[in-house]
Amino acid sequence: MADPNTLSAVDAAAAIRNGRLTSERLVESCLARIEAREERVGAWAYVNPDQALTEARARDKEEPRGLLHGIPVGIKDVFDTADMPTEYGTPIYKDHQPAWDAACVAQVREAGGVILGKTVSTEFATRYPGKTRNPHNLDHTPGGSSSGSGAAVADCMVPLAFGTQTTGSQIRPASYCGIVGYKPSFNTIDRAGLMPLSQSLDTIGIHGRTVQDTALVVAALADYRVSDSAWEIAGTPKIAFCRTPVWAKAEASTQALVEETASRLGGQGATVSDLALPADFDDLTEAHKTISEFEFCRALSYERTHFPDKISSLLMERLESGLRWTRADYENSWQKVARCAELMTHVFAGCDVILAPSVPGEAPRFEEGTGSPIFSQIWAPLGLPCVSVPVLEGPTGLPIGIQLLAPLGEDARALTHANWVHQQLGDWT
């Protein structure tokens, strides 16, 4: 058997069920990897090895609880945990200890999972970075805001980790770190105990190294199950290649790689068509900015009014911008989103899924920030399910993801087609 920490969650869960692996050995293996690499990668805000091993040993003595039995999971440090501090990526809440587990944390435990620790988030899941480095090149960012979760999964410190996406915080780190990032349809995983940032956009997602691993989590938590047979796509995958209205923001090398990928998939049995979005979609980036800023400055009212000196100027500017938007600006933005939502039936009429860039290019250097969410921002207010798969290698050898999107509520389509693309093209390395 490979080192347990490198196993997929699906394989590890099967090995634990069959008695070929214990949760204790799997957690030990993950902790050893953390011990070896954490000083450089900085993926974790909190790990207590004894606590994790105690949990793992307890699971090994029990009948299987559920789909995640014995599997270690990393939790972005914006989710409350009753037995670990939770700091939300801000010095305002240094050493804060919640009184409860977030719903998704409690559900992981109910399904038999072991909480390995808390992963680094940017400040309040926005853009000011934490300490985490890209495990493939420590001089580069892992992306944000789900930085630690992306780096930890990529570096085989843990097979699964929760992230969140309000703009591009799941897809971007997945792309930069060379892993799978799955943002489910809006409201799929319950948000109780997640620090709120934008009540109409915040979405809980999952980082994993395979698409099927990420699907395991929504099966366990949201009773959203992709049947075994659905993973074998019947007939020809119908993929619409969408350059998006922000195509010019992609680096030329990325444009070439994505173009080539679309062609290759055509040669590997898919029907690949070109999709130009209706002109209404040109407004979505600005609409998302208005909606999110209007909501951020309200959700963070307490912190904004009590601790302005402990908020980064990067975030404070966005909060102040949010206070300048009027109710009419906010409502007009939602009307623009509603028009695009009405067009989705038309957009998906000729295809199963949309193929689009995940990011403009490779991970920027660490000091340049967490990268641009622009290729997620245009989709974000629509709430569509999207899955980024790490199939491209950029000019300096770092990974670049591409994302598959499906209509709202059709997560199985996004997942099974992303899995097909991942299998056809393989990992970027």
Tokens of 219: 């099966």
Least distance in angstroms from the C-beta of 322 to a second copy: 11
118 carries an active-site annotation: no
Contacts with a second copy, residue ranges (CB under 8 A): 82, 93, 96, 99-107, 109-110, 187, 190-193, 195-197, 199-200, 221-225, 295, 298-306, 326-327, 330-331, 409
**Angle CA 144–376–159, to nearest 5:** 50
Catalytic (active site) residue 145: yes
Q: Which residues contact 408 (CB under 8 A, 6 or more apart)?
A: 185, 186, 341, 344, 382, 383, 384, 385
Q: Which is nearer to a second copy, 221 or 315 (CB)?
A: 221
Provide, rounded to whole angstroms, the least separation between the CB of residue 35 and a second copy.
Answer: 30
Spot the catalytic one: 29, 76, 121, 175: 76
Nearer to a second copy, 231 or 247 (CB): 231
Smallest gap from residue 376 Cβ to a second copy (A)? 21
Beta bridge partners of 400: 392
Nearest CB to a second copy, comparing residues 282 and 410: 410
**Residues 6+ positions from 259 with CB-CB distance below 8 Å:** none
> Is 273 a catalytic site residue?
no
- State the first-to-last Cα distance of the chain, in angstroms, to the nearest integer: 22
We find the least distance from the C-beta atom of residue 344 to a second copy, in angstroms, to be 13
Nearer to a second copy, 6 or 187 (CB): 187
Tell the smallest beta-carbon distance from residue 414 to a second copy (Å). Answer: 16
Give the active site residue among 145, 175, 185, 198.
145
Nearest approach, Cβ of 347 to a second copy (angstroms)? 18
The residue annotated as part of the active site, out of 23, 169, 175, 185, is 169
Closest approach of a second copy to the CB of residue 306, in Å: 8
Residue 275 is which amino acid?
A: L
Output 66 or 395, the one with its CB closest to a second copy.
66
Query: Please, which residue, 326 or 396, has the CB nearer to a second copy?
Result: 326
Q: Which is nearer to a second copy, 142 or 322 (CB)?
A: 322
Q: Which residue numbers are catalytic?
A: 76, 145, 169
